[in-house]
Chain A
Amino acid sequence: MIEAAHLHKSFKLRKPGPRKGLRSLIGGPTFVKEAVRDVSFTIASGEFTGFIGPNGAGKSTTIKMLSGILHPSSGSVRLGGIDPHRRRVETARTLGVLFGQRTQLWWDLPLRDSFEVLGAMYRMDPQRRRARLAELDGLLRLGEFLDTPVRKLSLGQRMRGDLAAALLHEPPILILDEPTIGLDVSAKRDIRSLLRGINEELGTTILLTTHDMDDIEQLCGRVLVLTDGTLSYDGPIGGLRSRIGMPASIEATYRTLEQAQAAWSALQRLDSASLAAVGLQERTLTVQCSLEQSRFMDVLRKLEAYGELEDARMREADFEDAVQRLYAN
């Protein structure tokens, strides 16, 4: 459904340097900033894919190339087989786009009017538009504010209105750029369940960018991670955690203080890559281990070699931490 092959985008920028004030007026050396480098991926019909990366990694640039706003410096994009740069108008019909940061609705008019204009732009016949709107109303609950001017809507309502606007012309592909930005917890939960519904009930292929890892964990079957303009990960979420090799930490409490101290000094001498003691607090020893390499029970057995355990607790690596670590590398 969405195919990107070897996408590159570079911008020419003025080199910051000693030219200040008046001298900067007459140009100066420029340099080329490569915002996106050799990004390739294919998204199948009906997939729900998350697209993450730190600020400035090139997410928005990639999204804009996919939706036909920006022309790639090289490489190609196909949306349902169509090249969005050659046939922008046709692409617009197969694509719904939502930018969380700015609305695409008519600011001063009631929400209903926006749908009327959009319906006409996409040459929908009024009857089909009404049927579609009824369907979206069932999903997004627009009825309560359909006649309110857009400028008076709350952010959560506006986002629902924008979603409906992006979906009105029945696009098979939906691209969402930070759809939960600025929303409170309950509005976020609301939007997430709506998105899940859209993906499952309408069968829409969705690509979503976000900085909220909960969006990704709860919605996306697949994640693309963009760092510094290149695709550093493409696969399921579970795989992301293990690929980074995030250690799980285990807190084991021994019966006596001596046992704990013995285990602590023994493990420090051991210097093993798969099992490392990282803290001792009274009778509780904290160790980190990679669960990819050894099973939880095996680790416990090793720890019990130094004395009987009273309690053991495992904390799995946080997804948010995992992503932070990935960004940092």
Chain B
Amino acid sequence: MTTLRSVRGLIAMHLLLIRFSFRSSMQYRFNFWFGTIASAVIASVEFSLLAVILARFGAIQGWTLTESAYLYAVLVLAKALYRSLASDVHHLEKYLVSGDLDGLLLRPVPVLLALMTRNFSVRVGETLLGASMLAYSLAALARDGAIELWVALPLTLAAVVNGALLLFGIGLATAAMGFWMTRIEVLQNMTEDAAHTAVRYPLSIYPGWLKALLSTALPVAFVNYWPAMFILKGAVGGWTLALSAAASAAALAAGGWLWSRGLRSYQSTGS
């Protein structure tokens, strides 16, 4: 009962902090709307490049244009969800370098929650782009009889949520390394930016070692590729979905563990 109440309290706190964070960013309306539009444009340009290649060659390594659009859409949606709900976890470095984390440690609120709600932004651009790509791809696949829409759609939404948790776990683990390293930008380039870029494309185009890496140590392939192998292609069993959930649970556990260890060895800045 008490845990239920404290969870409810945390959610209420999260919503409240997000509301104020949003109010802060609305002080700069132009910046807010322009940023929203720009991110959608950037994401669609990136996919257009992939679309051009696919239109030229028809398919890459057994993945058609519509199937690739699905992979892309699930990744974009999962990432948008992760970054909306945990925006400044990705920017922990800024707090460590400036010592601004001190202020968060003085509040009777979990530090992670305080950080997650800082500079909140709904990634409207990416979300719209991802949703429309997903709609296009699922509709086309259902028309061809490749999938049953009423089965594939809920599974896909579950994959998006699971993917967001997985990306959050990896992001949290990477950010927590900052407690020891302070500067983590390069590490984030590897575990977040490069990894996200890699799984925009079907995993089958990569050499074996990279496939293995993206499915084990840095399991981003479980965000979209492995769920799609089951949901779209039925090439693997339903256990892949369970494995995806296990991957995100493992990433979250690792992230949470590193975070609490890191917080304990936080060194702050001078004066």
Q: Is B194 an interface residue (CB 8 A)?
A: no
Contact B106 A69 (CB under 8 A): yes
Instruction: Say whether B268 contacts A69, CB under 8 Å.
Output: yes
Q: Across the interface, which residues of A come within 8 angstroms of B24, CB to CB?
A: 106-109
Instruction: Categorize the interface residue count of chain A.
Output: 20 to 34
Query: CB-CB < 8 A to B13: which residues of A?
Result: 120-121
Q: Min CB distance, A300 to chain B, in Å?
A: 47
By beta carbon, the residue of chain A nearest B111 is A88
- Considering the chains assembled together, what is the distance between the CA atoms of A149 and B28 in angstroms? 13
A55, B270: Cα distance in complex, Å: 10
Closest chain A residue, CB of each to CB of B9: A123
Instruction: Find chain B residues with CB under 8 A from A69 CB.
Output: 102, 105-106, 266, 268
B193 within 8 A of A: no
Residue of A64, A67, A95, A109 with highest tally of chain B CB at under 10 A: A64
CB distance from A308 to the nearest CB of B (A): 56
- Which chain A residues numbered 209 to 248 have a C-beta less than 8 Å away from chain B? none
Flag whether A257 is at the interface (Cβ < 8 A): no
Question: Is B181 interfacial (CB-CB < 8 Å)?
Answer: no
Interface string of B100-118 (1 = CB under 8 A from A): 1011011111100000000
Residues of A within 8 A of B270 (CB): 56, 60
Choice from A93, A102, A120 contacting B103 with Cβ under 8 Å: A102
Q: Which residue of A lies closest to B114 (CB)?
A: A121
Tell me the complex Cα distance, A138–B238, Å.
66
Query: Residue of A at shortest CB range from B109?
Result: A121
Judged by a CB distance under 8 angstroms, whether A34 is at the interface is no
In the complex, A149→B27 CA distance in Å?
10
Partner of B105, one of A55, A56, A68, A117: A68
- Contact between A106 and B266, CB atoms less than 8 A apart: no
Interface flag for A261 (CB, 8 Å): no
A71 and B103 contact, Cβ closer than 8 Å, known pairs A55-B271, A149-B27:
no
Closest 4 CB pairs of A and B: A92-B108, A108-B24, A108-B27, A89-B108
Told that A67-B105, A109-B20 touch, could you supply 12 new A-B pairs with CB distance under 8 A?
A11-B267, A67-B106, A71-B266, A88-B105, A89-B108, A90-B108, A108-B27, A108-B28, A109-B23, A109-B24, A113-B23, A120-B13
Residues of B within 8 A of A (CB): 9, 13, 16-17, 20, 23-25, 27-28, 99-100, 102-103, 105-110, 264-268, 270-271
Contacts A/B (CB < 8 Å), 22 sampled: A64-B102, A67-B106, A68-B105, A68-B106, A69-B105, A69-B266, A71-B265, A89-B108, A89-B110, A93-B108, A95-B106, A97-B106, A99-B103, A106-B24, A107-B24, A109-B24, A109-B27, A113-B20, A113-B23, A117-B16, A120-B13, A121-B13
* A residues neighboring B (CB under 8 Å): 11, 55-56, 59-60, 64, 67-71, 88-90, 92-93, 95, 97, 99, 101-102, 104, 106-109, 113, 116-117, 120-123, 149
